[in-house]
Amino acid sequence: MVNSVQNVPDSVLKSEDDVRDLEKLVVQLQGLHTEISILAKKAPNDGLNLFKLKLVNNILAKGNSILVGHYKPLENFTNFDESALPTNSDVTMVLALYIEQAERFRSNNMIYHGHRWKYLVKGAASQIEGRQPTKIGTERK
């Protein structure tokens, strides 16, 4: 899929702001996953409270705007229904899928350049350094 305005594929980071948004998403997904996993270990079938569910849905919405195309974690899923509170284990599972896809997207937008891992912005090495990719070997689309 190509963004017709900039003629850059949707699966490519287009700006430094995109890099910051992706890094923020990864941290938020991991933090939520850690906290909800603790709840899921204690009571996997208990429903998540509404406050936490709204936080989760907010982060998932950000993820849905960043993880597009073949990086979309779940085809027919955008967020949890607030009227039917999901279980802790359901939320943990969905967050894990989002984390995997966010890392795949991040890894595919990294390049080893000048003895450092750097983010690709518009398909070229930027000055923004990042940690080594963990999903090496996945295709760059």
Grouped pLDDT means (10 residues each) for the chain, 141 residues:
43 92 98 97 96 98 96 95 96 98 95 94 94 73 49
Q: How far is CA 46 from CA 17, 31, 73, 87, 140, in A?
A: 37, 20, 24, 5, 39
pLDDT of residue 9: 54
Tokens describing residue 48: 């998540």
Question: The pTM is what?
Answer: 0.88
pLDDT of residue 45: 96
| Rounded-to-integer distance, Cα 58 and Cα 63, Å | 9
CB 130 within 8 A of CB 119: yes
| Rounded-to-integer distance, Cα 76 and Cα 121, Å | 29
pLDDT of residue 10: 58
pLDDT of residue 12: 85
pLDDT of residue 135: 77
Q: What is the DSSP letter of 121?
A: E
Strand duo 124-129 + 116-121: pairing:
antiparallel
Instruction: Specify burial of residue 45 (Cβ count, 10 A radius: 0-12, 13-18, 19+).
Output: exposed
